[in-house]
Chains A and B, each alone.
Chain A
Amino acid sequence: MDLKEKLISSFLAFENQVDVDVDSKVHDVRSKAFSNFEQQGFPTKRDEEWKYTNLSSLLKSNYNIFSKGESSLTYKDVKQYFINETDCYNLVFIDGKFNAFLSNTTHDGLDVCVMSAALTKPKYEEEINTYFNKLAKENNSLSDLNTAFSAEGAYVNIPKNTVVPKPIQILNFSTGSEQEILIQPRNLVIVGENAHVQIMERHQSLTGNNTLTNSVTEIFVNKRGMVDFYKMQNDVETASLIDGTFVSQEKDSVASVHTFSFGGKLTRNNLEFYQNGEHCVSHMNGISILDGKQHVDNHTLVQHKAPNCESHEMYKGIYDEKSTGVFNGKVIVEQAAQKINAYQQNNNIIVGDKASVNSKPQLEIFADDVKCSHGCTIGQLDESALFYMQQRGIPKKEAKALLMYAFSNDALKDVKIPELKTKINAIIAQKLDVNIGFDL
């Protein structure tokens, strides 16, 4: 039985397991998404959007769809994946199940809790009916698959005028207690008017068994709201991730999504921004540093629907050995979106002889008074710069690393959580196999 058939035959059992009310709107949403997935199946290389990312080998594994989620993990086992020194709200999921022991939730002035509660309890019904699957719905079959099986994840609701005093970290662990496992986290973030929040998200496998994560996050930023979302992707080589993150912005809001891809076997990031009101600002920053046979595909979309907005996109990639990368940046400027400024940049350095990158900007502009710019470079390290640095006493290996560090630094400068920045710097240094005596 292939994975699609297995998922189809599991759907009823899944709904019974989460004990869903057949009259609820959530049930309708799931059922509709399920039939969409049933019709479309998994994307193949024949789909234009999946031309350079082949899922077929991932789909051959015999994934366990229902994890028991029983785990004896202690904080000590997973401490290294946390931001520790900064006080945070923590939402920890193990094999897709919430772990209250490792988590630190709140309902005090804001909700930082779990989707399983939000999807089933009456007190969240209004928010769920207003927001749940309102952004991901028009997307691909993988989002539909996630929606059909949506049961658990992070639910964050920040009321208006609330500045969340500490970051929220969402950690998804998969353990070796099952064999191969498919996890489908579903997150919903609602940022009220004039509210501010910082969120970090990480998927981490603790096993050598194949893990596939198909995650969907919907983020709604209301008027003058601000959100900073950091995605740390440094998983083991048997773990793959398909991520759909959808951001909807109202007037005067600012939203930033930072994607740091250093690990994992295959990572596909679908990141979509919808600007619905004037004076929205959207930032997308990404760094990929890959080696081995790693593959990272960043697909971004910005839909400018209103005038006087900005979007800034900067993705950097360093590819060693046989690693491969994809950047596809789509910007749609609707006719009403006059006087917008859309900026997109994708720079890549190829280090490995067999590494490759496919980069594609896609601009669709229907307004006539806009500023849209994009640039893409793919190159090697500058030999003259290497000689210059060596002449000043810096050995070639360190010189190369310093250049790569400096190269990726642009996309790191907006990280506002110092401990996270230090952690990323350390991962980059480790990834480049050097010890550089300063933070850039």
Chain B
Amino acid sequence: MLKIENLQARIDDKEILKGLNIEVKAGEVHAIMGPNGAGKSTMASVIAGKEEYEVTGGSIELNGEDISELAPDERAHAGVFLSFQYPVEIPGVTVTNFIKSSINESRKAQGLEEMPAKDLLKKIREKSELLEIDRKFLSRSLNEGFSGGEKKRNEIFQMAMLEPKLAILDETDSGLDIDALRIVANGVNKLKSKDNAVIVITHYQRLLDYIVPDFVHVLYDGKIVKSGTKELALELEEKGYDWIKEELNA
């Protein structure tokens, strides 16, 4: 599914990713953990194609195709979805209209007709129920005045609508109370299949109780420095990151 080799990227003159390697196969869930400033959000943004970041080396392959030169919308059409840590407010565009544009632009890129309104509404109803989203919410301006929890739920709702191949959840758990966390995690789990993959970026083990990862990686100073199974997350929760730093310096 996703294969990143020796990825190096910087913003302005600051090197952030310094040779990152990761391989994610279809059907897998990978968790990325690490201290603040390690480059977790940068990794997510670079995979999604944010233009402020300059890729200075390495490659990003999605299903065998190098996507590192594609525009963000082209990557989205190829199946990359990023759930934003801070979803942007877009006044004047309703959730429904945004979803509609989003789905139809993706279909257009694949040479498909627009989705019939009836099918779209049916899908919206189905997925909003899955995420326990109130119908009234769908006619509000996108993310405008949403609480932190509503914004995150709305991100996963969009993910459910778009059915990406690779979903990257960037600190989707931050700002969620325990009920919202359960709803969001449940949504993600329902969407999991053998044909797609999920990368969960988080600071806390808590989310991983609900979305159980196959692999856990520690990102530190722009590189994956340690990988393991879900037990590694528990160890990190207990001991923090200092022991990893010490190991590296030894």
Contact = CB atoms under 8 A, between A and B. Distances in A.
A117 interface: no
A388 B87 contact: yes
B54 interface: no
A395 B102 CA distance: 9
B105 A410 contact: no
B21 interface: no
Contact of B92 (A391, A392, A405): A405
Contact of B90 (A383, A390, A393, A406): A406
B178 to A, nearest CB: 27
B109 interface: yes
Given A393-B102, A440-B93, A388 B88 contact: yes
B195 interface: no
A387 B50 CA distance: 7
Majority DSSP secondary structure for residues of A touching B: helix
B196 interface: no
- Scoring B75, B101, B104 by chain A CB atoms within 10 A of each residue's CB, the highest score goes to B101
Given A393-B162, A406-B93, A388 B84 contact: yes
A157 to B, nearest CB: 39
B157 to A, nearest CB: 12
Given A405-B92, A438-B97, A440-B93, A390 B71 contact: yes
A39 to B, nearest CB: 48
Contacts of A13: none
Given A385-B90, A387-B50, A410-B92, A392 B100 contact: no
Contacts of B59: none
Nearest to A403: B90
B91 A390 contact: no
A84 interface: no
Interface string B76-115: 1100111010011111110001101111111001000010
Contacts of A440: 92-93, 97
B82 A394 contact: no
Interface string A364-401: 00000000000000000011110111111111101100
B73 interface: yes
Contact of B162 (A389, A392, A407, A436): A392
A99 interface: no
Interface string A66-97: 00000000000000000000000000000000
Contacts, number: 82
Interface residues of A, number: 27
Interface in A310-329: none
A390 B73 contact: yes
A50 to B, nearest CB: 34
Contact of B48 (A391, A405, A409, A436): A391
Contacts of A388: 84, 87-88, 90
B88 A395 contact: no
Interface residues of B, number: 35
A394 B73 contact: yes
Interface in B37-57: 48-52
- Scoring B51, B72, B114, B158 by chain A CB atoms within 10 A of each residue's CB, the highest score goes to B72
B229 to A, nearest CB: 30
Nearest to A406: B92
Given A382-B88, A437-B101, A437-B104, A391 B76 contact: yes
- Scoring A393, A395, A396, A406 by chain B CB atoms within 10 A of each residue's CB, the highest score goes to A393
Contacts of B84: 388, 391
A410 B144 CA distance: 14
A84 B94 CA distance: 30
A436 B97 CA distance: 10
A142 B111 CA distance: 56
A398 B109 CA distance: 13
A437 B114 contact: yes
- Scoring B71, B97, B100 by chain A CB atoms within 10 A of each residue's CB, the highest score goes to B97
B46 to A, nearest CB: 12
A241 interface: no
A403 B91 CA distance: 8
Contacts of A406: 90-93
Contacts of A409: 92
Interface in B130-182: 158, 162
A111 to B, nearest CB: 40
B101 A402 contact: yes
A385 B105 contact: no
A387 B72 contact: yes
Nearest to B94: A440
A196 to B, nearest CB: 29
Contacts of A407: 92
A405 to B, nearest CB: 7
Given A388-B84, A393-B102, 6 more contacts: A385-B89, A391-B49, A391-B72, A392-B98, A393-B103, A438-B101
5 contacts: A387-B72, A389-B90, A394-B102, A406-B90, A438-B101
Interface of A: 382-385, 387-396, 398-399, 402-403, 405-407, 409-410, 436-438, 440
Give 8 nearest A-B pairs by CB, closest first. Answer: A406-B92, A390-B72, A393-B76, A388-B88, A393-B106, A392-B102, A390-B73, A409-B92
